[in-house]
């Protein structure tokens, strides 16, 4: 592959003839036969090493959590928030700057994922963060960044959310941002563009932003940003008022809202602000955060502060204290901010991996993990109940504290994990599983699939709003989530349930023409396919079904020459060029192997070359290196490197290669 001048990979890897991969046992990457003794021995050793490492990283309370790495906008916005609230200290700024500076590329830019192209908004936010930390514009690394930013159109060409942060300090004009009135909270739930038409992550962000938009605060800027302006500081270009289509329509709506701002009745605006404050406070989690994710956390603190909540108020104090729990202190003294934390997700995946690798079901560490997961079940209604008011709660969330927003994905995988453990209180497990299954079934969308957090959250309008220029803001069903739910229902003996069959039919309809499935929450077609095939087999499709055979053929066609599999995030924008293509990674190789093994391909050349690649690339300590981002927040726009993925998915694949079908398939 050729690297471009911005440090990104210019083209997907080619499909040359397979090359030889040498494992620690001296085995080549193309071993003969079905489960040759040499490969099985090497795979068993790799699985033991990976098991030992995973067991060693479990917390004393029973959970696992790997770092959740995203990009430097999290670190930049943390510094901007602290500066806005007046709580930025020199040590925090220095540690954050070390991390941000360490992610800058030679040309002065920052990307949103490892090896990806430079991103303008990310580069602007990183530049501002370094200025806050004391880096000067004439420093070589800053001058390179500023020159690149100007060449891309400067501040005016950044996304709306970046310009909101700049507006807080007077670096951008509030009147040149889309209008977002707090009165939208009063829209009834049946009305288009009410807050429940948005996905939960967007909803939690939009509500506090309505307050910020109404207040239009400006803190004195600590320095100018003239060096980042490519031209006048005026409004970004917009479609003409006469433009046809949705752009023109929403521009006219925005113009109407600007006129409304000037005449908005003061009592109504005050009532809307108070309603927003109540909404925000009611959704603060027990640990002080909002939804367990960074965006609503920071905007909620800003909104409440603007509404008169001082830093000593219990809500604000808890929120500020929670900020530091998102910080990861690194050995070099730097400080990385996690956009979110994933203990429930990591724990259930770790339990599945360890059990499938052969750890006894009554192993004390598995039992401890099950105890912890049982204690994390959400037993009170949240925002999801707006669309499902009669459905009893019973799901699991992704984070330590997020009782408002459990999700279907975690719930399905936790149930699968609990069924792999011989718990000392089986009645407690049965009760928890029954509640989880009932909740998942009740959250099925009308078309037969499952979204992540809400049912039937499929509106087309929210994504077209002017301020929604960064990532998805709705939560439609996806192949990966639907597959995990279907697999769980099959494991619970519900393969013939009409709702499960509707999920199977939805998956079959969603298969891509090339035989793959789109991956909403993981990168990308490898993740979707690695989820869908095991689910369909668990639900009763024969391995000879044409959908399964097409998936197998696609996986074989995209296997890398080294025996592994990999897919770059650019497949979200250029599927024809990048789908299933990228440097081999441990997690994505695990996904491909999980699909092939479920499809009855154990002993095939593709499987054995993939297993050999995992064995060959394993470190001595039992782990794998994986700088690539294989998780997805918003397709293309926001990417994640789950540090535990490189451990759990290879181990799951090795375990299923060595031990046969996973527990879920055997339970039918």
Q: Model confidence over 460-473: pLDDT tens digits?
A: 887 777 777 777 88
Confidence of residue 11 (pLDDT cuts 50, 70, 90): low
Q: Please report where in the chains the tokens 């504290």 appear, as a residue.
A: 401
In whole angstroms, give the CA distance from residue 414 to residue 408: 10
| pLDDT at residue 1 in the model | 36
| pLDDT at residue 10 in the model | 59
| pLDDT at residue 471 in the model | 73
User: Are domains 40-68+340-462+478-663 and 71-224+239-337 of this chain identical in fold?
Assistant: yes
Token pair, residue 199, equals 């996905």
In whole angstroms, give the CA distance from residue 581 to residue 576: 10
Phi, psi (degrees; rounded to nearest 5) at 118: -60, 145
| pLDDT at residue 19 in the model | 33
**Interior angle at CA 575, CA 149 and CA 74, nearest 5:** 40
Query: 156-185 burial string, b = 16+ CB within 10 Å, else e?
Result: bbbbbbbbbbbbbbebbebeebbbbbbbbb
| pLDDT at residue 152 in the model | 96
Confidence of residue 244 (pLDDT cuts 50, 70, 90): low
| CA torsion angle 56 481 403 304 (round to 10) | 110
Q: Model confidence over 615-663: pLDDT tens digits?
A: 999 999 999 999 999 999 999 989 999 999 999 999 999 999 999 977 5
Decide if pLDDT at 224 tops 90: yes
Q: Which helix (H) or strand (E) holds 631?
A: strand 631-634
In whole angstroms, give the CA distance from residue 583 to residue 566: 5
Nearest to 567 by CA among 647, 656, 477, 631: 631
Decide if pLDDT at 179 tops 50: yes
CA atoms within 13 A on the CB side of 562: 18
Considering the chain, what is the average pLDDT of its residues?
91
In whole angstroms, give the CA distance from residue 374 to residue 367: 10
Q: Model confidence over 366-387: pLDDT tens digits?
A: 999 999 999 999 999 999 999 9
Instruction: Say whether 371 is catalytic.
Output: no
| CA torsion angle 153 155 161 166 (round to 10) | 180
| pLDDT at residue 329 in the model | 93
Nearest to 630 by CA among 618, 644, 609, 620: 644
| CA torsion angle 521 524 526 527 (round to 10) | 0
Q: What are the sequence ranges of the domains in the chain?
A: 40-68+340-462+478-663, 71-224+239-337
Q: Model confidence over 317-338: pLDDT tens digits?
A: 999 999 999 999 999 999 999 9
Confidence of residue 590 (pLDDT cuts 50, 70, 90): very high
Phi, psi (degrees; rounded to nearest 5) at 10: -80, -20
Q: Tell the CATH topology of 71-224+239-337.
A: Glycosyltransferase (1.50.10)
Q: Quick one: average pLDDT of 399-420?
A: 96
Q: 476 near 457, Cβ under 8 Å? A: yes
The residue from 197, 356, 407, 409 that is catalytic is 409
Decide if pLDDT at 666 tops 50: no
**Interior angle at CA 353, CA 348 and CA 355, nearest 5:** 95
Model confidence, pTM = 0.92
Q: Quick one: average pLDDT of 375-404?
A: 95
In whole angstroms, give the CA distance from residue 182 to residue 273: 6
Phi, psi (degrees; rounded to nearest 5) at 131: -60, -45
pLDDT > 90: percent of the chain: 83
Nearest to 464 by CA among 178, 113, 112: 178
Q: Tell the CATH topology of 40-68+340-462+478-663.
A: Glycosyltransferase (1.50.10)
Decide if pLDDT at 347 tops 50: yes
Q: Please report where in the chains the tokens 């053929």 appear, as a residue.
A: 553
Q: Quick one: average pLDDT of 474-503?
A: 97
Is 208 strand, coil or helix?
helix
């Amino acid at each position: 592959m050729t690297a471009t001048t911005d440090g990104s990979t210019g083209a997907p890897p080619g499909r040359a003839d397979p090359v030889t991969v040498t494992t620690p046992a001296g085995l080549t990457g193309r071993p003969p036969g079905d489960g040759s003794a040499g490969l099985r021995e090497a795979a068993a050793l790799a699985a033991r090493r990976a098991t030992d490492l995973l067991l060693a990283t479990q917390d004393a309370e029973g959970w696992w959590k790997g770092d959740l790495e995203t990009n430097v906008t999290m670190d930049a916005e943390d510094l901007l928030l602290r500066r806005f609230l007046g709580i930025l200290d020199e040590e925090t700024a220095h540690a954050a700057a070390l991390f941000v500076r360490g992610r800058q590329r030679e040309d002065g830019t920052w990307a949103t994922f490892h090896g990806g192209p430079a991103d303008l908004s990310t580069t602007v936010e990183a530049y501002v963060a370094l200025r806050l930390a004391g880096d000067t514009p004439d420093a070589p690394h800053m001058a390179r960044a500023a020159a690149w930013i100007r060449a891309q159109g400067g501040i005016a060409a950044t996304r709306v959310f970046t310009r909101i942060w700049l507006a807080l300090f007077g670096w951008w004009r509030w009147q040149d941002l889309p209008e977002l009135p707090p009165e939208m909270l009063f829209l009834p739930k049946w009305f288009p563009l009410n807050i429940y038409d948005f996905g939960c992550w967007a909803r939690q962000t939009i509500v506090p932003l309505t307050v910020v938009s109404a207040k239009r605060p400006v803190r004195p800027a600590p320095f100018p940003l003239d060096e980042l302006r490519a031209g006048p500081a005026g409004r970004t270009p917009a479609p003409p008022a006469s433009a046809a289509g949705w752009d023109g329509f929403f521009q006219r709506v925005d113009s109407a809202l600007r006129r409304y701002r000037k005449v908005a009745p003061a009592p109504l605006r005050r009532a809307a602000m108070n309603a927003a404050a109540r909404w925000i406070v009611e959704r603060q989690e027990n640990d002080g955060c909002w939804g367990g994710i960074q965006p609503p956390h920071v905007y909620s603190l800003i909104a409440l502060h603007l509404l008169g909540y001082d830093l000593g108020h219990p809500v604000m104090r808890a929120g500020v204290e929670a900020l530091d729990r998102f910080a990861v202190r690194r050995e070099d003294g730097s400080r990385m901010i996690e956009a979110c934390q994933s203990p429930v997700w990591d724990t259930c995946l770790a339990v599945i991996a360890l059990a499938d690798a052969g750890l006894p079901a009554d192993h004390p560490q598995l039992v401890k993990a099950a105890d912890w997961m049982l204690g994390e079940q959400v037993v009170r209604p949240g925002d999801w109940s707006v669309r499902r008011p009669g459905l009893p709660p019973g799901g699991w969330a992704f984070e330590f504290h997020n009782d408002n927003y459990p999700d279907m994905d975690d719930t399905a995988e936790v149930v699968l994990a609990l069924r792999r453990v011989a718990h000392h209180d089986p009645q407690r497990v049965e009760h928890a599983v029954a509640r989880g299954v009932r909740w998942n079934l009740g959250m099925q969308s009308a078309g037969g699939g499952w979204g992540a957090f809400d049912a039937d959250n499929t509106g087309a309008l929210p994504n077209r709003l002017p301020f929604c220029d960064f990532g998805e803001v709705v939560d439609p069903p996806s192949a990966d989530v639907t597959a995990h739910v279907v697999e769980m229902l099959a494991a619970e003996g519900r393969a013939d349930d009409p709702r499960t069959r509707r999920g199977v039919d939805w998956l079959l309809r969603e298969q891509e023409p090339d035989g793959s499935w789109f991956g909403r929450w993981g990168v990308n077609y490898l993740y979707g396919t690695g989820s869908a095939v095991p689910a369909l087999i668990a639900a009763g499709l024969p391995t000879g079904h044409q959908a399964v055979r097409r998936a197998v053929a696609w996986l074989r066609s995209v296997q890398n020459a080294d025996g592994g599999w990999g897919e770059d995030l650019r497949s979200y924008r250029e599927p024809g060029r990048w789908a299933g293509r990228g440097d081999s990674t441990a997690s994505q190789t695990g996904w491909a192997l999980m699909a092939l093994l479920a499809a009855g391909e154990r002993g095939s050349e593709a499987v054995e070359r993939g297993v050999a690649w995992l064995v060959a690339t394993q470190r001595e300590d039992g782990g794998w290196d994986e700088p690539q981002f294989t998780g997805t927040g918003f397709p293309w726009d926001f990417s994640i490197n789950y540090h535990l993925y490189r451990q759990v998915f290879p181990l799951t694949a090795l375990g299923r290669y060595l031990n046969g079908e996973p527990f879920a398939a055997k339970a039918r």
